[in-house]
Amino acid sequence: MLRSMYSGISGMKGFQNKLDVIGNNIANVNTFGFKKGRVTFKDMVSQQISGASGANNGLGGTNPKQVGLGGQISSIDTIHTQGSLQTTARPLDLSISGDGFFVLSNGTDTLYTRSGNFYLDAEGNVVNSDGYYLQGEGGGNITIPPEAQSFSIGADGSITAVGATVDGGPIQLAKFPNPDGLEKAGGNMYRESSNSGEPELGAPGGETGAGKIVSGTLEMSNVDLSEEFTEMIVAQRGFQANTRIITTSDEILQELVNLKR
């Protein structure tokens, strides 16, 4: 079989994955705290036809002759750029101006998120939409007693309540040496991986450089629809071009088969 046919197949597989990532980005264009993905490619191994040779016997050197055998995915990156902030005026809607993450726990597993839409449960604990507890300084749950008449959250993560004492504050943020290495856990949450490094924990605006909290706002997705639609066109045309390679290779094989009539 022709090498070009298998090169075309590898290109189709790559662009299929690229379209999958683009589709996920567009599906989450209005997801709070979502960070878009990006696909990069690299060439596969090349078959050596002849090697390079140096100058000798009065002749100059020659370059190697190699035929590439297709392309493959190099990486699928998570782009952690800051999304725009949407004002909600709700005290438990929080966003981070900086590089940090909110720390969440279900008692056994610790996860991290940029999505700051939090709520109170029946006992006054601050939780996310899936019931994970927001962690305060020292790794404890943050509890705003039901008898509190009102409360506010400062840029440093401190929680001030009228008529009650808040337990577990201030809010704790985490900063990673390599946030691109975090593993997506679903539900707008991330999990520490072997390449993300261990998180540096601290209060907002502290020495960790995790950023400050902006109360009454939510961080929007950093997906740019115009960019995604452009990349979708590029992926579609790339896929079509690779199908044309397979069609042309098939026509050549058909001619070879018809040599013997």
Residue, of 2 and 189, whose pLDDT is higher? 189
Quick one: pLDDT at residue 205? 79
Q: Which of 80, 138, 128, 129 is nearest to 104 (CA)?
A: 128
- 81: confidence class by pLDDT, cuts 50, 70, 90: very high
Quick one: pLDDT at residue 74? 94
* pLDDT at residue 260 greater than cutoff 80: no
Residues 84-90, mean pLDDT to the nearest whole number: 94
In degrees and rounded to multiples of 5, residue 232 shows phi and psi of -65, -40
- DSSP three-state, residue 109: coil
In degrees and rounded to multiples of 5, residue 250 shows phi and psi of -65, -40
Q: What is the mean pLDDT of the chain?
A: 91
Residue, of 25 and 149, whose pLDDT is higher? 25
pLDDT, one tens digit per residue, over 53-63 is 888 888 888 88
For CA atoms 181, 182, 186, 188, give the dihedral sign. Answer: negative
Q: Phi-psi region for residue 30, left (φ > 0), alpha (ψ -120 to 50) or beta?
A: alpha
- 261: confidence class by pLDDT, cuts 50, 70, 90: low
* pLDDT at residue 86 greater than cutoff 90: yes
Q: Give residue 55's identity as a one-letter amino acid code.
A: A
Quick one: pLDDT at residue 163? 86
